[in-house]
Amino acid sequence: MNARAPFPAGGRDWDDLLVDMRARKADDIDWRNGRTPLYVFHNDSETYEIGRKAYFEFFSENALGRKRAFHSIQSMEREVLDYGLSLFSAPDGGEGVFTSGGSESILVAMKTARDAWRAARPGRGPGSAMNIVMPVTAHPAFDKASDLLGYEIRRTEVRPDGRADAEAMRPLIDENTIAIIGSAPCFPYGVVDPIDQLSDLAEATGAWLHVDACVGGWMAPFFTMNGRQTPHFDFRFPGVRSISADLHKFGFCPKPASTVFFRDAADMERAAFVADAWPSGRFETSTLVGTRPGGAVAAAWAVLNHLGTTGYRDAARRLAEMVDLYVADLEALGFRMIARPDLSIIAFTSQSEDMFAVAKELGTHGWLVGQTRRPPGIHAMMSLFHAPAREAFIADLAVSLERVRGGGAKGRATDVVY
């Protein structure tokens, strides 16, 4: 049992604290040089600095008080949501919520879908059987929402190309289905589900279709603008009722920042939590959390205005070029892509080598290695700091591959974690 740290006596100055904090970082992964395949996202140093400065300009403001105290935060949040509604082809009357991350955005969307389902079925309140239908590639945040909201999850396998299979989902939908799920892209394989087919399925069955675009939402439209063949996923499809999309991934905004959008403002009204039984008056939020950092809103607004369409198209171009180079290098080593990447998630495997062992050996070279269990593979959600790291990564991967072929490292499926 570890000894409990005593409460500090106080009195340490900044220089002393900084030395201590930097010493603690000694064993952190070297994310600045592209050694991690997730957690941190980067466009360029100028965008990073603008986001950081904007965040600290509103360091103390609380977005919970945006309507009564911090009107600057309210105005910036409003504009960020408007940008997203336009980007995702929302009709007039669409609305959105600024949240802390993808898990919260998904939870808000599922809570809203549940309440819409209840509203259409008088008497089906707490305790009623409910389910969602989704491919196995959908994010575990839907499982987390299941724990909180009490619905069953019905999973389907995906097509050979890694995408959701709408026809496999159809027989699992019934009167208790509150939502069906598609991803843009899915995290494990990096491909966009066929949202056009899922939209048709949603309209035919009356199910709520949620598109989880947390990874790619704020970037995919710019791939399309550049002429890159990237599947559409947004409100242009009439069956789509809600979309989650993270600003702090490929929007390149400081954490915590995400968004969830609804086709109809009436749907978004169901996202609200309202309490009015205590002495202090009406309390209402459209998010799971109450207090939210005003700095995250200000930083998102600043980054979106700094980059604009021109900047995001440039980032999309550089991301696409980088991904193509990685794919070519990996295939030259004999690896096979699990699915052809639609954006900047790559996942690759081998028909002859122990991929768990390759991943374990690669980790000895200082890389944090992402993996898939089905099929055994290596996975990376790449940002632009992975471009200068490509040659080193491929070289270390080649060495790792040769060692495994020589009977070196061994790996296990149980080693795979997010």
- pLDDT digit string (tens) for the chain, length 418 residues: 789 999 999 999 999 999 999 999 999 999 999 999 989 999 999 999 999 999 999 999 999 989 999 999 999 999 999 999 999 999 999 999 999 999 999 999 999 999 999 999 988 878 889 999 999 999 999 999 999 999 999 999 999 999 999 999 999 999 999 999 999 999 999 999 999 999 999 999 999 999 999 999 999 999 999 999 899 999 999 999 999 999 999 999 999 999 999 999 999 888 888 899 999 999 988 898 999 999 999 999 999 999 999 999 999 999 999 999 999 999 999 999 999 999 999 999 999 999 999 999 999 999 999 999 999 999 999 999 999 999 999 999 999 999 998 876 676 666 777 6
3-state DSSP assignment of residue 243 = strand
Q: CA-to-CA distance for 269 and 372, rounded, in angstroms?
A: 38
Q: Give the model confidence (pLDDT) of 102-122 as tens digits.
A: 999 999 999 999 999 999 998
Q: Distance from CA of residue 81 to its chain's centroid?
A: 17
Query: For the chain, what are the domain ranges?
Result: 50-304, 312-415
Strands (E), 168-208: 177-183
pTM of the model: 0.95
Alpha carbon distance 209, 60 (integer Å): 37
Cross-strand pairs, 86: none
**Residue 344, Cβ neighbours under 10 Å: how many?**
26
Residue 337, beta-bridge partner list: 348
Q: What is the spatial order of strands in the sheet that 209-212 belongs to?
A: 95-99, 258-262, 240-246, 209-212, 177-183, 131-135, 152-156
- Residues 50-304, CATH architecture: 3-Layer(aba) Sandwich (3.40)
Cα–Cα nearest to 63, from 301, 280, 248, 282: 301
CB 88 within 8 A of CB 255: no
Cβ–Cβ < 8 Å for 273, 108: no
In the prediction, which pLDDT does 412 show? 67
For residue 116, the one-letter residue type is: A
Task: Place domain 312-415 in its CATH homologous superfamily.
Answer: Aspartate Aminotransferase, domain 1 (3.90.1150.10)
pLDDT, position 237: 98
Task: Identify the CA nearest to 115 among candidates 239, 269, 259.
Answer: 269
Tens digit of each residue's pLDDT (9 = 90 or more) over 46-92: 999 999 999 999 999 999 989 999 999 999 999 999 999 999 999 99
List beta partners, residue 262: 95, 242
DSSP assignment string, 137-178: TS-THHHHHHHHH--EEEEEPPPTTS---HHHHGGG--TTEE
First to last CA, the chain: 26
CA–centroid distance for 265 within its chain = 23
